[in-house]
């Protein structure tokens, strides 16, 4: 018997089985790759699909000012809302556009309509800074695909008050200028984080080991050393004084010389921090008191006098031959006015008549009778190492400048420059540096770090105070400081401005009219000079220091006397009453 076997058919079955086995092997290998080799990857992918991460925004700290023993808010937070849409969830686009335009009005984001056409996107901002009322109206419309997020917006209940001192917060929540910029990190706080397994609606389902909950840490509520009433009066007195001399720009700083606390910082022109985006002149954002160094002029004679007394170069009974000019190297340095020749000019005369020759004489005595390296080195030591000129004060203000003081070893730090520096020319200082140094000179010789921060508050009532910080002791000896105070008081009282002081109080001060350099000639000119006044007031002990600066005064005479001086007197007399300072 003969068997007929179809081997070709057998081969086909074998091939088919082999192919099937191959497919099974591939599937098994693929499953092995996915489940074993790529297990962690796909586990992570699934986890990220199921787990939602939420940012818990920290509340920005509020800012308070002092007000006759209590504290009042200068900067608050107000909730505002951002409306957004998920283009993949939007149904009736025309209805959405009409609803947003009707409710949001001027808060609508330009170009949002184009974003709605992008179905690849899941987030398009429709409007920003919606009020609570607008947010409620939009919520009632129940437009599919539309949602809202809440953020805080800064509110300045006092409007323009202390605007440059405060600064502002931009749309991204970043503090700029003033306290808002300098203390942005402290005010901003630290956002928290929430991480949990959610359903399709992003609602947390259960509590698991993978959940993360880190609460937000709100920013500090800062209490300023600034007194709201002193700030308000300083601003009004500054504006009135500028109007009287037809000037367009000026500044006033008031500080406590016995602890470095700033009681007021006023600048004009000013602005409303809540409307910072309406400002066209960005220079108005700067606090010129800390950021705009200039040649302070003859107010520096008080500090040079202090150096002369402290080094023993002169004493309160020293006299000198005032010929109206003095020769320093190839330069003839003259007094501003045609003073009569006086062979017995006193140290009081130096401040009363503002004698350039007098402070150059003091500088000469530091060098054994002439301006030289020894004299320059002594003056620089006091200016830089004692009075801290050329260093930032550290006051809590963004954009503080260190100013410029040329060392005696520098090629430009020659005899002529140092003779000019003795009466406030040839170096650039800020008002803050000058007022702080002056405070140390008349308070007994202690340089306190200038500060605008009194402490913090957690409830808007109680204040946790900040420590007073001493940057240098022995700026001048106590006896030198007392002698200097007496000379400054006599210098003011012998002049016309002293006659307007309240009787029974100790008030001293010094004028300064800073010439500016003509860019065409490179020489100093009185055109557009800057007027300054620097002084103190109180009874047995100075209770306040005031520095005033006035630019572009149109009044006749020297701007320090006619423009800045009256503003000092106005604020000083008011402070005596407001601070309830008892007369001697």
Q: Is residue 540 part of a domain?
A: yes
Range of the domain at 75: 54-155+184-219
Tell me what pLDDT residue 22 has.
76
3-state secondary structure of 284: helix
Q: Is residue 172 part of a domain?
A: no
Q: Is residue 173 part of a domain?
A: no
Number of domains in the chain: 2
Tell me what pLDDT residue 4 has.
59
Tell me what pLDDT residue 126 has.
84
- Residue 465: name the closest of 233, 285, 224, 154 by CA: 224
Q: In whole angstroms, give the CA distance from residue 301 to residue 524.
A: 18
Q: Are residues 215 and 234 in the same domain?
A: no
Q: Is residue 81 part of a domain?
A: yes
Q: Are residues 75 and 137 in the same domain?
A: yes
Tell me what pLDDT residue 490 has.
96
Tell me what pLDDT residue 524 has.
64
Using the CB atoms, write b or e for 61-91: b if 16+ within 10 Å.
bbbbbbbeeebebbbebeebbbbbbbbeebe
Q: In whole angstroms, give the CA distance from residue 34 to residue 36.
A: 6
- Residue 550: name the closest of 288, 226, 163 by CA: 288
User: Which whole-number Å values give the CA distances from 102 to 106, 127, 138, in the listed order?
Assistant: 10, 11, 10
Q: What is the pLDDT of residues 86-111, one digit of tens each?
A: 877 777 778 888 888 888 887 888 87
Q: What is the pLDDT of residues 487-511, one digit of tens each?
A: 999 999 998 898 889 999 999 999 9
Tell me what pLDDT residue 407 has.
97
Q: Is residue 121 part of a domain?
A: yes
Q: In whole angstroms, give the CA distance from residue 273 to residue 262.
A: 20
Q: In whole angstroms, give the CA distance from residue 539 to residue 493.
A: 15
- Hey, how many other C-beta atoms are within 10 angstroms of the C-beta on 258? 18
Tell me what pLDDT residue 43 has.
58
Q: In whole angstroms, give the CA distance from residue 406 to residue 384.
A: 10
Check which CATH number belongs to the domain holding 75 and give it: 3.90.1310.10
Q: Are residues 411 and 533 in the same domain?
A: yes
Residues of the chain where predicted confidence (pLDDT) is lower than 50: none
pTM: 0.84
- The phi, psi pair for 515, rounded to 5°, reads -75, 150
Q: Is residue 41 part of a domain?
A: no
Q: Are residues 284 and 202 in the same domain?
A: no
User: Which whole-number Å values give the CA distances from 6 to 9, 260, 450, 539, in the listed order?
Assistant: 6, 111, 107, 129
- The phi, psi pair for 541, rounded to 5°, reads -120, 135
Q: Is residue 202 part of a domain?
A: yes
What DSSP assignment string belongs to 42-110? Answer: HHHHHHHHHEEEEEEPPPPPPEEEEETTEEEEEEEEEEEEEEEE-TTT---HHHHHHHHHHHHGGGBPT
* Cβ contact 235:161 at 8 Å: yes
- Residue 206: name the closest of 196, 214, 215, 216 by CA: 196
* Cβ contact 55:193 at 8 Å: yes
Q: In whole angstroms, give the CA distance from residue 231 to residue 552.
A: 23
Q: In whole angstroms, give the CA distance from residue 99 to residue 346.
A: 81
């Amino acid at each position: 018997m003969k068997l007929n076997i179809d081997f070709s058919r057998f081969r086909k079955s074998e091939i088919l089985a082999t192919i099937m086995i191959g497919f099974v092997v591939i599937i098994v290998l693929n499953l092995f790759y996915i489940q074993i080799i790529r297990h962690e990857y796909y586990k992570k992918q699934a986890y990220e699909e199921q787990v939602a991460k939420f940012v818990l925004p920290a509340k920005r700290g509020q800012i308070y000012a002092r007000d006759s023993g209590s504290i009042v808010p200068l900067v608050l937070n107000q909730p505002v809302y951002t409306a957004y849409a998920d283009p993949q969830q939007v149904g009736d686009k025309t209805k959405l556009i009409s609803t947003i335009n009707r409710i949001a009005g001027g808060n609508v984001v330009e170009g949002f309509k184009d974003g709605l056409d992008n179905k690849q996107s899941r987030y398009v901002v429709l409007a920003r800074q919606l009020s609570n009322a607008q947010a409620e109206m939009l919520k009632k419309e129940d437009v599919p695909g539309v949602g809202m997020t809440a953020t805080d917006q800064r509110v300045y209940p006092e409007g323009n008050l202390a605007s440059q001192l405060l600064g502002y917060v931009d749309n991204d929540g970043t503090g700029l200028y003033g306290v808002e910029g300098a203390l942005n990190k402290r005010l901003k706080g630290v956002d928290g984080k929430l991480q949990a397994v959610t359903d399709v609606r992003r609602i947390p389902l259960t509590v698991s080991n993978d959940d993360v909950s880190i609460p937000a840490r709100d920013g500090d509520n800062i209490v300023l050393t600034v007194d709201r009433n002193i700030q308000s009066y300083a601003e009004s007195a500054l504006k009135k004084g500028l109007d009287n001399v037809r000037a367009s720009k000026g500044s006033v700083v008031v500080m406590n010389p016995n602890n470095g606390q700033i009681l007021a910082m006023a600048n004009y022109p000013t602005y409303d921090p809540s409307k910072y985006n309406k400002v066209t002149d960005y220079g108005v954002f700067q606090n010129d008191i800390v950021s705009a160094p200039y040649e302070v002029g003859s107010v520096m004679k008080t500090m040079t006098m202090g150096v002369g007394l402290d080094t023993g170069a002169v004493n309160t009974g020293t006299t000198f031959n005032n010929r109206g000019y003095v020769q320093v190297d190839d330069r003839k340095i003259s007094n501003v006015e045609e003073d009569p020749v006086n062979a017995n000019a006193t140290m009081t005369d130096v401040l009363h008549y503002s004698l350039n020759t007098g402070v150059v004489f003091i500088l000469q005595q530091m060098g054994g009778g002439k301006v030289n390296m020894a004299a320059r080195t002594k003056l620089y030591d006091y200016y830089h190492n004692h009075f801290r000129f050329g260093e930032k004060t550290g006051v809590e203000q963004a954009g503080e400048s260190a100013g410029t003081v040329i060392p005696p070893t520098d090629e430009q730090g020659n005899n002529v420059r140092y003779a000019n520096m003795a009466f406030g020319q040839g170096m650039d200082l800020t008002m803050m540096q000058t007022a702080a140094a002056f405070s140390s000179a008349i308070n007994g010789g202690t340089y306190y770090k200038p500060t605008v921060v009194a402490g913090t508050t957690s409830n808007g009532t109680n204040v946790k105070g900040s420590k007073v910080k001493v940057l240098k002791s022995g700026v001048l000896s106590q006896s030198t400081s007392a002698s200097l105070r007496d000379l400054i008081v006599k210098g003011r009282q012998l002049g016309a401005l002293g006659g307007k002081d309240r009787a029974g109080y100790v008030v001293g001060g010094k004028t300064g009219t800073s010439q500016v350099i003509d860019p065409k000639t490179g020489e100093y000119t009185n055109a557009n000079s800057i007027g300054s006044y620097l002084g103190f007031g109180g009874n047995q002990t100075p209770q306040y220091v005031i520095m005033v600066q006035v630019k572009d005064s149109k009044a006749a005479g020297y701007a320090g006397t006619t423009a800045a001086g009256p503003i000092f007197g106005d604020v000083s007399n008011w402070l005596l009453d407001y601070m309830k300072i008892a007369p001697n």
